């Protein structure tokens, strides 16, 4: 099923929210030569904001509230997840909650397959 006008409206709202929480700056930090995914923690604002944003988008896709194809055309979910995945894994271990950030991870895995 193709994306709808409602999907596009939600995408614009998500873009506005991403700007408000600094996802552009976070992305630049996550892809900088100095960023080390293996030592980064969720307490790093760039990592934490990207995880929160990715989990939100993933949850919306999982529940059919925004078109998956539209999200994949818009965001490089697989790439950003790769940069924050080690921090997410450590947070899961520390909290004992294996489902932490699972919707972001699933969305990234799906993009890799598409």
Global pTM reads: 0.95
Which residue range forms the structural domain that includes residue 99?
5-113
What DSSP string runs through 33-78? TT--TTT--TTSHHHHHHHHHHHHHHHHHHTTSS-HHHHHHH--HH
How many domains, in total, are found in the chain? 1
Q: Which phi-psi region, left, alpha or beta, contains residue 29 (left: φ > 0; alpha: ψ -120 to 50)?
A: alpha
CA 53, 59, 65, 68 dihedral sign is positive
24: Cβ–Cβ under 8 A, 6 or more apart, which residues? 18
Distance CA 103, CA 50 (A): 13
Over the stretch 36-80, which tens digit does the pLDDT of each residue have?
A: 999 999 999 999 999 999 999 999 999 999 999 999 999 999 999
| Percentage above 70 pLDDT, the chain | 99
- Tell me if 6 sits within 8 A of 36, measured CB to CB: no
């Amino acid at each position: 099923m193709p994306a709808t006008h409602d999907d596009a409206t939600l995408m614009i709202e998500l873009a506005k929210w991403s700007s408000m929480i600094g996802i552009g700056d976070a992305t630049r930090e996550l892809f900088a030569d100095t960023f080390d995914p293996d030592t980064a923690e969720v307490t790093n604002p760039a990592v934490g904001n990207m995880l929160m944003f990715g989990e939100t988008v993933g949850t919306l896709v999982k529940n059919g509230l925004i078109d998956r194809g539209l999200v994949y055309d818009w965001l490089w979910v697989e790439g950003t997840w790769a940069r924050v995945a080690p921090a997410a894994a450590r947070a899961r271990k520390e909290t004992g909650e294996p489902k932490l950030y699972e919707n972001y991870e699933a969305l990234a895995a799906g993009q890799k397959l598409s």
